[in-house]
Chain A
Amino acid sequence: QVQLKESGPGLVQPSQTLSLTCTVSGFSLMDYSVHWVRQPPGKGLEWMGRMKYDGDTYYNSALKSRLSISRDTSKSQVFLKMNSLQTEDTAIYYCTSHPFAYWGQGTLVTVSS
C-alpha cells in the first residue's frame, strides 16, 4: 500500500529556512520519483520540483535559487529545503508520486513573525 506523509514545522519566521520531510512506504525511492507541490491558501497548485528515481533533481526555475531536494533511500525519505522564506511562501506543501497518483495529506506551513 503506497503512502506518503509530509512532516515539518507549521510555522517559519520570515527569511528563515524551511525543512520538510516526505516519508514514503509501499514503494522504493529508487523505482519512483517523488515530487513536491505547494498550494497557497485558496489558490492553485504549483509544482516545485522532484527527486527522480535515479537521484537526479529538477526544480521549478522560479524557485531554483532557493530550493534543494535530497533523499535518504535507506530511510525512504525525501527532503525539501527552501531558504529565504517570505509570507508568500505560506502554503500547504504536498509530496506526491507515481506520478501524481498518490499524494500525502499535505502540511500547512505559515511564514510569519
Chain B
Amino acid sequence: DIVMTQAPLSVSVTPGESASISCRSSKSLLHSNGITYVYWYLQKPGKSPQLLIYRMSNLASGVPDRFSGSGSETDFTLKISRVEAEDVGIYYCGQLLENPNTFGAGTKLELK
C-alpha cells in the first residue's frame, strides 16, 4: 500500500498569515498519463471531509483561491494564504493512484 506521510501533525497560525502543510508518498503518484493523483481535503469540526485540491494542483469547485497545491512525484505541499477562521480543521492528503486509496494521518490547523 502507498503510505502518505504528513507534516506537521499540527500547526498554529495567526489569522492573515500563511500556512503550509507537507505530504510525502512512499511511491510516485505520477501516472503515465501525466496526472499526479494526490488530493487534499479539509475536515471541519463535526463535518464530512471536503475536497480542496484534486490532481495535485487543481482547485475544487467553490474553494477560495487562497488555497493552492503543488509538488513533485512524491512530495506535495498545500499552501493556505491569508488564513481565516473558517480554515480551522484537519487537513488530509490522499492518493487515488492505486487501490487501496490511502490518506495521510492529518494535520490539525488552529488559530493563534
How many interface residues does chain A have, given as a range?
20 to 34
B76 within 8 A of A: no
- Alpha-carbon separation in the docked complex, A42 to B21 (Å): 20
- Alpha-carbon separation in the docked complex, A102 to B59 (Å): 14
A45 within 8 A of B: yes
Binds A, one of B10-18, B23-31, B49-57, B80-88: B49-57
Q: List, in ascending order, chain B residues with CB within 8 A of A27's CB.
A: none
Which residue of A is nearest B61, CB measured?
Answer: A101
Which residue of A is nearest B92, CB measured?
Answer: A45
In the complex, the answer to whether B101 meets A101 with C-beta atoms within 8 Å is: no
In the complex, the answer to whether B49 meets A45 with C-beta atoms within 8 Å is: yes
B103 within 8 A of A: yes
Q: List, in ascending order, chain A residues with CB within 8 A of B104's CB.
A: 44
- Give residues in B with beta carbon < 8 Å to A: 1, 39, 41, 48-51, 54, 60-61, 92, 94, 96, 99-106
- Give residues in A with beta carbon < 8 Å to B: 35, 44-47, 49-50, 58-62, 94, 96, 99-101, 103-106
